[in-house]
Each structure stands twice: as structure tokens, then as C-alpha cells.
Structure 1
Amino acid sequence: MVEDNASNPSFARWWRQVLFVPLLHSKWLTTESKARLTDGVTRAERGHRGEVFLIVENHLPIQEAYRMNCRERAIDLFSEYRVWDTEENTGVLIYVNICERKLEIVADRGISAHVSPTVWNAMCEKAVSGIATQKTEESLAELLDEVGQVLRQYYHLERDPEGNELSDTVVFLK
């Protein structure tokens, strides 16, 4: 979800990260669900020149949680995983923070020139609604499909190129 980049320091956010117990919240993320989501990323990348990257994180890093919100974390990971480093600047990062119950989409400047923040926000809100009803994997799979459709709309290819600029494997940060 696109929000103000300026994060306010927050003890409440920091405490949520400290007290978060991953075992109670990440049961849905099994080896099988990771494989299905990885397949979802692969399907989302068919038929266009864009790249989709999915990161699921239990909580913000404790040492940064006081000052950093989920949007800032997503932007940091966008850089760290080099999602910005695609040939046509068409990388899209989907970041899920389980503790904060937040989902962020960070799109590179190539695709951002075509897609307004309200479209990304609507996608995020729909997925977050599904996650709230305990349909996390299904909601993320649907979101991946929607992102793929948007990329096909602006960067359509008749035939997929050989290779992949970014890995399709879902990244899970504990």
C-alpha cells in the first residue's frame, strides 16, 4: 500500500515486533505453500518483460522497528534484492509483513510511469482483506496474477525471452 514515506518513530510498532511469536502466525507458510507461491510468481511473469519478486517477512528487524515502517522496509528490500536492476525498470516487489499485517507493492520507475499508485493500493487492499480472513496463500496468489496482468498490459510479449532477471523463488525472512 502506498503511504507517506516519512516514518514516525513508534514504540508501539517496536513492541509489536519484540512480542511477535512467529510460530503462532506463520503456520500457513509451509514448504508446499512456498512452492505454490513460487509457481505463482513464475506464472505472473509469463507473457511480458517485467519481473515480479515476493518477500514474506515475519516482522521488521527489531533494531530498526522503532524508526522504520513497512513501506520503508519494502523500499530497502527492493534495493537489497536488486529488484530495481531490471533492463527496462519493470521490477515489482510485493512485500508482506506478517506481524504488522501490511502488504506493500514497490514498482520500479518503468512500470510506475504507466500504473498509478491508486491501482497498486487497490490491489494491496484486496489482498490484505483476504489475508484478514485467513486466506493468505490464496490472496497472495490472486495478487501475483493481478500484477502479472498489469505487466502484460504494458510490456506484452508474444514469446517469453529465455532466462529470468530475478529469481522466482519466494523469499521468506524470519
Structure 2
Amino acid sequence: MTQPKAPTAKDSLSRWWRQVLFVPMLHSRWLTPAVKARLSEKVTAAERGHRGEVFLIIENHLPIEMAYHTDTRERAIDLFSEYRVWDTEENTGILVYVNICEKSLNIIADRGINAHVSPTVWQAMCDKALSGISNQKIEDSLGELLAEIGQLLRQYYRLEDDPTGNELSDTVVHLK
């Protein structure tokens, strides 16, 4: 006889219900094609002058089948792998993951840049962006965050000229 799986600290029935009841068109109207294009331009700007890569994913809600057992941090780590943000030459990929339903923002940084930046710096950047997002300044807050990440990458991986170009797409990924 098998035992039922014991719930873990991260298991959440309320998180699952939030995903089930989430209505994207009520919460993600701000993410128009024009906003996506402007944010993609901000990613491109954030990548100038260094050898790092920045990748932005905005997701309406966690996939229902994952929502009970998976929080947004784990989802961000999964997407970091799925979109191969870790697969940069100098391990300088950074994923910015926004989950609209959970009002959550996570930064997942590869080991190259993470060796230079403390977790408290990443958390402060997330907190600042989330503060702006909660004040309905979503696009501006994400743009400022991307610029700050670009500054960090320039500080540690400066390049006068980037002859090799992009390793990852600058286009914002919107998972519905």
C-alpha cells in the first residue's frame, strides 16, 4: 500500500485556487504589443556594453497542473533552464520572471554574475521593482530594473565593443 504524498511547506491550495480563478484579460491589459516592443528595446539597451545576457519572461499565471506544488521561484528556475538562459559562454545569463497572478518577480542569475552580486542586492532590486508594479507603474518599473541589471553587468563584464552579439533573444516572452 502506498502512502499519500505528504504536503511540503511550499504546497499551497490557495495558490492553486488563485491560478484557477485568475482572469488574464482583467489583469494583463497593460501588456499590449507596443509595451512588449518597448520592453524588448529596454532588454536590448540593458545588454549594451557588456558580455551578459538578460531575458524577460512575463507569465499570466502558473500552469494549473503545477500550481499546487510549484511556487514562482521554482517556476522561474524551470524557465531559466527551459529557455537556456544558463547557456551563455561566460555564465552571465539573467532571467527576470514576472508572474502577474502572484504579483511576483524573481531574478535568476547564472553562476558567473552571481559570484559578484550578493542575494541581498538581487532582492533589493526585486523589491524596488515590485513596489513600482504595485503602484501601477509596471512598464516603468520593469524598464528601470532592466537598466539596473545592465549596469551591474557592465560593472563586472564591461566590453567596449560587443563583436559577438546576442546569445539570447531580446524579445519579451509572454506566457499566457
The TM-score normalised by the length of structure 2 is: 0.95
Confirm or deny: 8 A CA contact 1:20 1:99 kept in the other structure: yes
Which residue number corresponds to residue 86 of structure 1?
A: 88
Structure 1 residue 7, shift from structure 2 partner: 5.6
Which position in structure 2 is the counterpart of 1:163?
165
Alignment root-mean-square deviation, CA? 0.9
1:17 to 7, 11, 19: 19
d(CA) in 1 for partners of 2:31, 2:144: 16
Which aligned pairs between 1:1-174 and structure 2 lie closer than 5 A? 8-174=10-176
How far apart in 1 are the matches of 2:91 and 2:100? 28
For 1:117, the aligned partner's letter is P
Q: CA deviation at 1:8?
A: 1.3
Whole-angstrom distance in 2 between the partners of 1:105 and 1:75: 9
Q: Equivalents in 2 of 1:161, 1:91: separation in Å?
A: 18
The whole-number CA distance in structure 1 between the counterparts of 2:148 and 2:56 is 13
Distance 1:109 1:94 in 2: 15
CA contact (8 A) 1:7 1:68 kept: no
- Computing the radius of gyration from Cα coordinates, the structure with the larger value is 2
TM-score (norm 1): 0.96
In 2, the alpha carbon distance for the partners of 1:7 and 1:164 equals 39
Give identity over the alignment, percent. Answer: 74
Letter in 2 for 1:30: T
Instruction: Give, in whole Å, the separation in 2 of the partners of 1:155 and 1:14.
Output: 40
Aligned amino acid, residue 162 of structure 1 = T
- Partner Cα distance (1:158, 1:14) in 2: 47
Unaligned runs of 5+ in 2: 1-7
Structure 2 distance, partners of 1:119, 1:78, is: 19
Shift of 1:136: 0.3
Offset at residue 127 of structure 1 (A)? 0.3
**Amino acid corresponding to residue 80 of structure 2 in structure 1:** F
Task: In structure 1, give the amino acid aligned to 2:77.
Answer: I
Deviations 1:96-154 (A, max 9, x none): 00000000000000000000000000000000000000000000000000000000000
